[in-house]
Amino acid sequence: MQHLQNLMSACFSELTKTTSGVFLLYLVCVKYCIPSDVTHVTRTPTSFVLTIKEKEIRQKLLNDCDRISSQGTKLEPVSDLITYRIATVPIALRTSSGSVTVDDTNLVAEIIRVTYVAPKIVRVHSKIRSGAPHCSWLARFSREQAPRPGF
């Protein structure tokens, strides 16, 4: 085991200075568990996701997150929210009384009408181009109350 730790230290010594994800993987594998406990490392736009196969080791890492955070990384439990992308929502709707701009309250009301479930968060997915007839929205639901995909 000591040989493996020395080998990993040598391999990651330069990478840990620049890549926080590699640094996190190095901390987890060498100091807190064995490398075979981490089954998958996924890069997300803002961080890295570590998939650990045993609940005891996962809980041990979360309990030791204060010691790990002192070295420049942050561990947090997985979110219980599920995100759905709602594509091609019109910017405005024409009604008999005139044009109504679609905002988050209108979209939440429509989601509740269709699914009988209120989302926790609703926000525009990206920047809206000037003159675009549609935009995409993100709706986040709690894992227990999430409607079926494609509602």
pLDDT in tens, 112-148: 999 999 999 999 988 778 888 999 999 999 988 888 8
Buried b (16+ CB within 10 A) or exposed e, 97-120: eeeeebeeeebbeebeeebeeebe
What residues contact 58, with CB distance under 8 A and at least 6 apart? 52
What does the pLDDT read at residue 120?
A: 94
What is the sign, positive or negative, of the torsion defined by CA atoms of 116, 122, 125, 129?
positive
What does the pLDDT read at residue 63?
A: 80
pLDDT in tens, 21-66: 555 566 566 666 777 777 777 777 767 777 777 888 778 877 877 7
**Residue 35 per-residue DSSP state:** G
Question: Does position 91 have pLDDT exceeding 50, yes or no?
Answer: yes
Q: How many helices (H) and strands (E) does the chain have?
A: 5, 7
- Report yes or no: 48 and 74 within 8 Å, Cβ to Cβ: no
What does the pLDDT read at residue 21?
A: 56
Question: Does position 70 have pLDDT exceeding 70, yes or no?
Answer: no
Q: What's the CA gap between 79 and 119, in Å, rounded?
A: 15
pTM score over 0.85: no
42 strand-pairing partners: 49
In three-state secondary structure terms, 109 is helix
Backbone angles phi, psi at 36, to 5 degrees: -70, -15
Strands 48-52 and 121-124: unpaired
What does the pLDDT read at residue 9?
A: 44
What does the pLDDT read at residue 50?
A: 76
What does the pLDDT read at residue 55?
A: 82
Q: How confident is the model at residue 19 (pLDDT cuts 50, 70, 90)?
A: low
In three-state secondary structure terms, 104 is helix
Q: What's the CA gap between 6 and 39, in Å, rounded?
A: 21
Q: How confident is the model at residue 10 (pLDDT cuts 50, 70, 90)?
A: very low
